Amino acid sequence: MVTIKQAQSKADLKKFVKFPFSLYKDSPYWVPPIINDELESFNPDKNPVFKSAEASFYLAYKDDKIVGRVAAIVNWLEVKEQNLKKMRFGWFDFVNDFEVSEALLQKVEEVGKQHQLNYMEGPVGFSNLDKVGVLIEGFDHIGNMITWYNHPYYQSHYEKHGFVKEKGYLEDKFLFANADPKIFYKANLLIKKRYKLRELNFTNSKDIMPWVDKMFDLFNSSYASLSSFVKITDVQKEYFKKKYISFINPEYIKFVVDEQDQLVAFAIVMPSFSKALQKAKGKLFPTGVFHLLKAKKQSKDVIFYLIGIRPEYQSKGVTAIIFNEYYNTFQKRGIVNCIRTPELEENTAIRQIWKHFDPVTHKKRRTYRKDL
């Protein structure tokens, strides 16, 4: 018999965070989070997302052993401002037992009905900057810090319990050697001259900070047309600014501005911390932090995290400026692999941007939906 218990105490939330460590202990592809960072993201006193969202965390027990977990999430901006009456769920992990996954999903369904929502969708996080999608292809590729990894059996559980595909996501990668500077160097010069644009490069994180709010405003306007987009609020901007921007290599953040110094485009790339996080085993101390700092300086793989372009510039070749700047940076760094985060199948515009780099789709994931 499966018993579902809500994780409310610090001890239970720690069990919630640590469950995947046992579920994936033998996997060479799973990338663990930093336990304290994960706990902080679930803390309403520290994560400002809880000003516009709420979440309940549940653990599944069988024979007094934890066998699954799920977070039931309501984003009230989505529900009230977009009139999208969606029950979100994420951090959904379980042993290969249909009784376990069903019990967890039934708990999410129960919460959704209590809030009079129309359907449930997952796995998703609190917002568009969180992890998304269950992996359905590419199980033999290492994960990264901004995606979930899961066992191949997950897909069959969703479908057995009556869920249907809601959205599909593709993850592509390409060799830096595929980047031919002749493709974008001349275009970069032409676009800058035609629209009176210039690039901004950084060597110090403190010089980036004055631009971060503008960057998130541009992010909101760039992605507003995509399905289920939830804007980043002002308090979330401050949170992300303090927590993440200073940790990213400053030379991996690129801005493009017009002649009035108004932000036209931005891109954020991160070094791959996958191997370092595996070595850290969920802890920064005593040695985890050194693995991460080493990866920050020496990783030859990079992850394209975000790219945003002001809507009126989205078909004017501004990406040539960004690519030219990254080419120069990556060449100095000796970068080998360029990896892209999950992109909606329907976002054909983003795939057009990368077509000259001969990308390969190495992972596919999706979210699943069920009416309440």
Q: Can you give the residue range of the structural domain that contains 318? A: 174-364
CA of residue 162 relative to chain centroid, distance: 26
Is residue 159 domain-shared with residue 201, that is, in the same domain? no
- Helical (H) or strand (E) element with 91: strand 86-94
Residue 346 has what pLDDT? 87
Is residue 145 domain-shared with residue 196, that is, in the same domain? no
Is residue 214 domain-shared with residue 354, that is, in the same domain? yes
pLDDT at 337 > cutoff 70: yes
| pLDDT classification of 251: cutoffs 50, 70, 90 | very high
Is residue 353 domain-shared with residue 229, that is, in the same domain? yes
Is residue 33 domain-shared with residue 141, that is, in the same domain? yes
Is residue 160 domain-shared with residue 250, that is, in the same domain? no
Is residue 152 domain-shared with residue 233, that is, in the same domain? no
301 located within any domain: yes
Is residue 162 domain-shared with residue 178, that is, in the same domain? no
Mean pLDDT of 353-366: 94
pLDDT digits (tens, 9 = 90+) for 71-95: 999 999 999 988 999 999 999 999 9
Is residue 288 domain-shared with residue 160, that is, in the same domain? no
Mean pLDDT of 280-289: 96
Mean pLDDT of 52-73: 97
pLDDT at 225 > cutoff 80: no
Residue 239 has what pLDDT? 86
304 located within any domain: yes
370 located within any domain: no
pLDDT at 228 > cutoff 80: no
The whole-model pTM stands at 0.94
75 located within any domain: yes
218 located within any domain: yes
CATH of the domain at 82: 3.40.630.30
Contact residues for 135 (Cβ-Cβ < 8 A; gap 6+): 147, 148, 149, 150, 154, 363, 364, 365
Mean pLDDT of 207-219: 92
Could you count the other beta carbons within 10 Å of the beta carbon of residue 326? 23
| pLDDT classification of 352: cutoffs 50, 70, 90 | confident
372 located within any domain: no
Task: Give the Cα separation of 331 and 325 in Å (integer).
Answer: 10
Structure tokens at 230: 């939830």
Alpha carbon distances (Å) from 41 to 92, 240, 349? 16, 11, 32
Residue 266 has what pLDDT? 96
pLDDT digits (tens, 9 = 90+) for 166-198: 999 999 999 999 999 999 999 999 999 999 999
133 located within any domain: yes
Task: Give the Cα separation of 112 and 139 in Å (integer).
Answer: 31
Is residue 84 domain-shared with residue 141, that is, in the same domain? yes
Residue in 102, 111, 110 with CA at minimum distance from that of residue 163: 102
| pLDDT classification of 227: cutoffs 50, 70, 90 | low
Is residue 241 domain-shared with residue 155, that is, in the same domain? no
Last residue of a domain, one of 112, 137, 168: 168
- The CA-based angle 87-88-91, given to 5 degrees, is 145
Is residue 238 domain-shared with residue 157, that is, in the same domain? no
Domain count, the chain: 2
Structure tokens at 286: 């005593």
Q: Phi and psi (nearest 5°) for 300? A: -95, 5
